[in-house]
Amino acid sequence: MRIVALVPGGISDQILFFPTLDDLKRNYPDAQIDVVVEPRSKAAYRVSKSVNDVLMFDYKDRNSLADWANLVGILRDREYDVAIALTQSLLMGLLLWLTGIPTRIGYKGKGAAFLTNTVPLKQEQYAADVYHTLLQELGIKSPCPQLAVNVPKLDIDWADKEQLRLGVKETGYILIHNGVNELPANQGQDRTYPAENWLDIIQDCQQKQPDIPVMVVQEPGQQEFVAQLKQSIPDIKITSPDNMGKLAAMIAGANLLLCTDSAAMQLAVAVQTYTIALFGSTDPAKLLPKSEKIIAIKSSTGKIADISPKTILEKIWGG
């Protein structure tokens, strides 16, 4: 069987789809499973064990008819048996119909007339569960499995060496990930927390637990953020993993992850690291499973910057 899933969205969206892909592979172990994702999201599949091939298509770009026709041609040529669409879209439904793929699964609503199988879209649920309901149309009725990732050994080895480089010993460490905007700034995402607030948190952690180092992840474009931290804490430990596997390995080695709503948060869920996650306007229940290892702090104003360091520290120390 040849299966293709069309998965718009950022890296976090892809990781939330992993349980569905894993369950699909468990039930159809000999199937070839491919995904069509935006270029910005291909990096997620370094830590997926269930996908054979990652095709790229920029769903959000102003694609011409020729671009869409090219995608239709690629999907037709690969002779898929099943297509799964993760978005309600008239254009997407039409595209899948034009491919001639015999089984086309998606959500009820826009574009459903071009699909062969549909399920209700329950957007208020945890996103991984929402995606997993699509498998009902392939006879898979089991509950959604836990989110998991497959970290390459090379990335685990890199993380071990990185911890040695930074002088981290058996005590473990607290890891801070200040998010990264996966979409252009003009789309109004609120995914980072002010450096001055992080400084209050880091200094408090260093005073209360001097033997447990605090480490900060520097993502591309965060030079100014890191420079602000170094002004007050010159010897702060900075790490810059350059792929999802290395980031997952560093998160797995942490005693605690402090982060904003981002791919790092989803990786922490997968590797079961204790996590305190900051949210602005997004509903945490849609992006996080129920777990004793995860504490979500949602801003009362809808802006992450308005969460006080005191509120976060109370959660860290159980106050």
Please report which confidence band the pLDDT of residue 91 belongs to, taking 50, 70 and 90 as the band edges: confident
Say whether pLDDT at 278 is over 50: yes
* CA atoms of 94 and 81, how far apart (whole Å): 17
The arithmetic mean of pLDDT across residues 254-261, rounded, is: 97
- Cβ contact 266:105 at 8 Å: no
Say whether pLDDT at 181 is over 80: no
- Please write the tens of the pLDDT for every residue from 15-28: 999 999 999 999 99
Say whether pLDDT at 186 is over 50: no
3-state secondary structure 230-295: HHHCCCCEEECCCCHHHHHHHHHCCCEEEEECCHHHHHHHHHCCCEEEEECCCCHHHHCCCCCCEE
pTM of the model: 0.93
Domains of the chain: 1-136 (3.40.50.2000), 151-315 (3.40.50.2000)
Say whether pLDDT at 184 is over 50: no
Say whether pLDDT at 123 is over 90: no
- Please write the tens of the pLDDT for every residue from 129-160: 999 999 999 999 999 999 999 999 999 999 99
Residue 179 φ/ψ, nearest 5 degrees: 75, 175
**Bridge-based pairing state of the strands 237-239 and 53-56:** unpaired
- Please write the tens of the pLDDT for every residue from 294-313: 999 999 999 999 999 999 99
- Cβ contact 104:83 at 8 Å: yes
The arithmetic mean of pLDDT across residues 45-74, rounded, is: 91
Inter-axis angle of helices 153-165 and 244-252, to 10 degrees?
60
Please report which confidence band the pLDDT of residue 182 belongs to, taking 50, 70 and 90 as the band edges: low
Please report which confidence band the pLDDT of residue 185 belongs to, taking 50, 70 and 90 as the band edges: very low
Say whether pLDDT at 6 is over 50: yes
Say whether pLDDT at 187 is over 60: no
pLDDT at 189: 54
Q: Which residue has the tokens 């000999």?
A: 30
Range with the poorest average pLDDT among 86-95, 131-140, 149-158, 247-256: 86-95
Radius of gyration, alpha carbons of the chain: 21
pLDDT at 188: 41
* CA atoms of 40 and 43, how far apart (whole Å): 7
Please report which confidence band the pLDDT of residue 128 belongs to, taking 50, 70 and 90 as the band edges: very high
Please report which confidence band the pLDDT of residue 179 belongs to, taking 50, 70 and 90 as the band edges: confident
pLDDT at 111: 83
pLDDT at 180: 76
Average pLDDT, the chain: 93
Cβ atoms < 10 Å from Cβ of 181:
16
The arithmetic mean of pLDDT across residues 202-230, rounded, is: 94
The arithmetic mean of pLDDT across residues 249-274, rounded, is: 97
* CA atoms of 186 and 293, how far apart (whole Å): 33
The arithmetic mean of pLDDT across residues 98-104, rounded, is: 97
Please report which confidence band the pLDDT of residue 319 belongs to, taking 50, 70 and 90 as the band edges: low
- H-type alpha helices, 119-222: 127-132, 153-165, 195-208
> Partners of 37 in the beta sheet?
56
Beta-carbon contacts of 307 under 8 Å, excluding residues fewer than 6 positions away, are 193, 197, 278, 297, 299
